[in-house]
Structure 1
Amino acid sequence: MARPNRVLKLESYDPNPLLDRLISVVPGQNDIGLAAALGVTKSIISKIRNKHADISAEMLLNMHEMSGLSIRELRNLMGDTRRLF
């Protein structure tokens, strides 16, 4: 049974600034290029952008490795300012 993701319910949660920041560092500079760089489909990026899916821990690590941004900075960009998760 999957645990409900509390980040999607945060009032401050908005993945778009995070995705937009990441797009600035990938070739192609669009959702398709970002999806390719992260090894996911454009559909996954669209679901995240529209808050129909969350950003998994694995994807967050991939974003960190791709961009060089810290996990804390990535979480701040998406509005997840919780100390513990």
Structure 2
Amino acid sequence: MQTYIGGVSCPYICSKRLDHGVLLVGYGSAGYAPIRLKDKPYWIIKNSWGETWGENGFYKICRGRNVCGVDSLVSTVAAVNTNSG
């Protein structure tokens, strides 16, 4: 992820050790993946490293193959309004 510049990233190998949290914000059906030399479906991930990194602070990663654990190593947050007024 540190060397990402743009396009859809479809790495062959990822570390099994997670050391950074990101936010999955959307998806797309076809974006060019340079390593695969074709369009691939992708997740859009917002990184915390700021707008100067990646594509204005966002990262596109292949969708549908559990690349880097994006489909299985997930945490969620649910917000509940406790205001009764």
Normalized per residue, which structure has more strand? 2
Structure whose alpha-carbon radius of gyration is higher: 2
Q: Which has the higher contact order (CA 8 A, sep 6+)?
A: 1
Structure ranking higher in helix proportion = 1
Task: Give the TM-score range, shorter chain.
Answer: under 0.3
Q: What TM-score does the superposition give when structure 1 sets the normalisation length?
A: 0.24
TM-score by length of 2: 0.24
